[in-house]
Amino acid sequence: RLRLHDGKLIKDRRYHLRTYPNCFVAKELTDWLIDHKEAPDRETGIRLMQKLMDHYIIHHVCDEHSDYKDAKLLYRFRKDDGTFPLSKDVKVFMRGQSLYEKLVSVEESILKVREENSVKYQRTFLGSEMIDWLIQEGEVENRQEAVELGRALLEHGIIQHVSNRHHFFDSDILYQFWINFRRRRRLTELLNENSSRALSESPDSPFCLRKLNPDPGNSSFLSVQTNKEIKIVSAVRRSSITSLSGNSNPYFSAPPTLVFPPVAECNPKSVLKRPVTNEELLSPGAPYVKKTLTIVGDAVGWGFVVRGGRPCHIQAVDPGGPAAAAGMKVCQFVFSVNGVYVLHLDYQTISSLIMTGPRTLVMEVMEAVE
């Protein structure tokens, strides 16, 4: 957006005796994307701009077109006309970006290369040091407010404990910025988002948990969402994903063909007896113990289902699968996946982490003390 402003592609334009401020012509923008190597061709450029429309970043100036058309039509960034939706997630992200820019632009910044357990980490700071800085800069009024801000930044994946073992505390624990806001991201990265999660052709049904091919030799799980898309729940059998999505399997040359059985009209309840919050899990003295599970996928996957969000929990475990053999049980809460802290994520995002990760899965789970 800022580059388009600098290049004068975004400007006030007149059409049918009316002036539209801060807008661009779609066809000119597609040309610009190709000229500046942001897109290899017009088709990719159109897909990129459609992604921005789908995420409410740009829109047609009169909202007469829901699709991005490569034509002489006027579009505008929502941030330029005040219609950009500032959800809580967006506000936290923007706050994190603002703090990061402020920290890296000052001399004697608290962000430094530090070492813990013989491992060096970039852009690190101590929890108490960050709190002192926030108060000194007038970003917060007191230490409690600073802790709440630090926890929000951690839960949104902007900062993290260097080894993903602690939430944010007013202490000498070492944290780092997980996001490098100054890395220039290419627009084409948008097209890789969620590429393996969504599958088409689902019968019309409410959310329903079921097995595919309910014979003893195959216990693959699917979840059917109310939006009429079939989405993979974490640790669906790897063969299920490849055979349904049509992608080649990186591990197995001949994935089995799966047949869709009729979908039962059902809405399974959570296995949890009551909702549990992250704060409850992480509070000192809480009746939960953390366990590390190493799950080696077999010829058809890992064999468990994750549901919920913030935190996610284990909803179902295949008794004969690798997860059960590793000690996984229903009602455990997912703390980390392959070293990534995930208490703040939903099950779709955790699913993506698992499916795009290695065959050997290392998970930290939190289990209620008997």
Domain 278-368 classification at class level: mainly beta
How confident is the model over 59-75, as pLDDT tens digits? 999 988 889 999 999 99
Task: Measure Cα distances from 277 to 190, 349, 351, 363 in Å.
Answer: 31, 18, 20, 19
CB under 8 Å, gap of 24 or more: what pairs does 5-8 form? Answer: 7/32
How confident is the model over 172-217, as pLDDT tens digits? 999 999 887 877 777 888 887 554 333 333 332 222 222 223 333 3
**Rounded-to-integer distance, Cα 322 and Cα 324, Å:** 6
Q: DSSP class of residue 194? A: T
* Fold agreement between 1-77 and 88-177: yes
**Rounded-to-integer distance, Cα 151 and Cα 149, Å:** 5
| Residue 308 dihedral angles phi and psi, to the nearest 5° | 85, -160
**Rounded-to-integer distance, Cα 32 and Cα 29, Å:** 5
Does residue 328 carry a pLDDT above 60?
yes
Burial class (CB in 10 A: 0-12, 13-18, 19+), 253: exposed
Task: Measure Cα distances from 346 to 111, 152, 156, 234, 313 in Å.
Answer: 30, 15, 11, 10, 10
At 81 the three-state DSSP class reads helix
| Chain centroid offset of residue 93 CA | 13
Beta bridge partners of 319: none
Domain ranges of the chain: 1-77, 88-177, 278-368
* pLDDT at position 193: 59
Task: Measure Cα distances from 317 to 14, 50, 256, 302, 343 in Å.
Answer: 61, 39, 21, 9, 20
Quick one: average pLDDT of 128-148? 94
Beta-sheet strands, E only, within the chain: 11-15, 18-25, 58-60, 74-77, 112-116, 119-126, 159-161, 174-177, 198-199, 208-211, 221-224, 230-231, 288-296, 304-308, 312-317, 333-337, 340-341, 360-368
Question: Which pairing describes strands 230-231 and 221-224: parallel, antiparallel, or unpaired?
Answer: antiparallel
CATH of domain 88-177: 1.10.10.10
**Helices H, strands E: what count in the chain?**
11, 18
The single-letter code of the amino acid at 155 is E
How confident is the model over 237-275, as pLDDT tens digits? 333 333 333 333 333 333 333 333 333 333 457 889 899
Does residue 283 carry a pLDDT above 60?
yes
Question: Is there a contact between 225 and 241 (Cβ–Cβ < 8 Å)?
Answer: no
Architecture of the domain spanning 1-77? Orthogonal Bundle (1.10)
Burial class (CB in 10 A: 0-12, 13-18, 19+), 263: middle
Q: What is the mean pLDDT of the chain?
A: 78
Percent pLDDT > 70 in the chain is: 79
Which tokens is 90 given? 């967006």
pTM value > 0.85: no
